[in-house]
A and B are shown apart, each in its own frame.
Chain A
Amino acid sequence: MSLDKVKPEELSFRVLQQSDDLTEFDCSLNDSMGLNEFIRREALDYQREKLGVTYLFYYRNEVVGFATLAMSGIEIKEAPYLLSIILPSKIRIRDYPALLIGRLGTRNDFRDRHVGQNICLWCLSTAAELCKKIGCKLVIVLTEGETAKFYGKVGFEIFPRYEKRDRKWMYLKIP
């Protein structure tokens, strides 16, 4: 039985709070990245330490998904002579600032209902807003298995040398 897609208008969000009880939240299907453990036990610690902010997404007053965002970057080493040829400005970029989608999870019973896609797009737009204020050229994410296909459909590309690995770092440039 296919369930209706959840429209973005039907979702709302807020930042994770100390009082949130997520013990019943279950996104354990294909959970090789440890999302359940993260949201139940670690997300608040990450937030306290300013390592990542977790946003909870609600549908009819129930949490149906979450995303954890953090600043990150891609370091370029060793190829300045190549890069100065590529970049018209001749600026030698050594670090590409990026927004990291640290975790993104959808509740099991809301899979295949566009909740994950809506949350992902929300993250992309957040990155686009950030790049106007603090500089941010990319959105990056670490994927594994089916999640690589999910991000691929959105437009993410696999970093060179990660194509054949089980865990793939992927990126999407902000236009």
Chain B
Amino acid sequence: MKPEHPPVLTGKCAKQFVERVESAPSKKNIEVFREAERVHKAIKEIK
């Protein structure tokens, strides 16, 4: 399977993307990463 290159953004798409990324994180965004941290701690590494 060929790897696909990630997006290169130009013009309005770039503006739209940067506006979204640079805006304050949403409550959902914060909650997802809080849950992610909990899950990460729970899944133990096999050594």
Q: Do A and B come from one complex?
A: yes
A residues in contact (CB < 8 Å) with B: 7-9, 11-14, 33-34, 37-38, 42, 57-58, 72-79, 82-83, 86-87, 93, 96, 98, 100, 102, 118, 121-122, 124-126, 128-129, 137-138, 140, 142, 154-155, 157, 159-162, 167, 169, 171-175
Among B35, B36, B37, B47, the most chain A Cβ lie within 10 Å of the Cβ of B36
Chain B residues contacting A72 (CB-CB under 8 Å) are: 6
User: Is the Cβ of A155 less than 8 Å from the Cβ of B7?
Assistant: no
Chain B residues contacting A124 (CB-CB under 8 Å) are: 32-33, 36
User: Is the Cβ of B32 less than 8 Å from the Cβ of A86?
Assistant: no
Per DSSP, chain B at the interface is helix
User: Is the Cβ of B43 less than 8 Å from the Cβ of A11?
Assistant: yes
Complex formed: what's the CA distance from A79 to B16 in Å? 11
- A72 nearest CB neighbor, chain B only: B6
| Interface residues on chain B, number (Cβ under 8 Å) | 38
User: Is the Cβ of A76 less than 8 Å from the Cβ of B18?
Assistant: yes
User: Is the Cβ of A79 less than 8 Å from the Cβ of B10?
Assistant: yes
Among A98, A126, A160, the most chain B Cβ lie within 10 Å of the Cβ of A160
Per DSSP, chain A at the interface is mixed
Mind listing 19 A-B residue pairs with CB under 8 Å? A12-B45, A34-B1, A37-B1, A57-B43, A75-B8, A77-B8, A86-B15, A121-B32, A121-B39, A122-B36, A125-B36, A137-B21, A140-B6, A155-B29, A157-B20, A159-B9, A159-B17, A160-B9, A175-B33
Chain A residues contacting B11 (CB-CB under 8 Å) are: 78-79
User: Is the Cβ of B39 less than 8 Å from the Cβ of A159?
Assistant: no
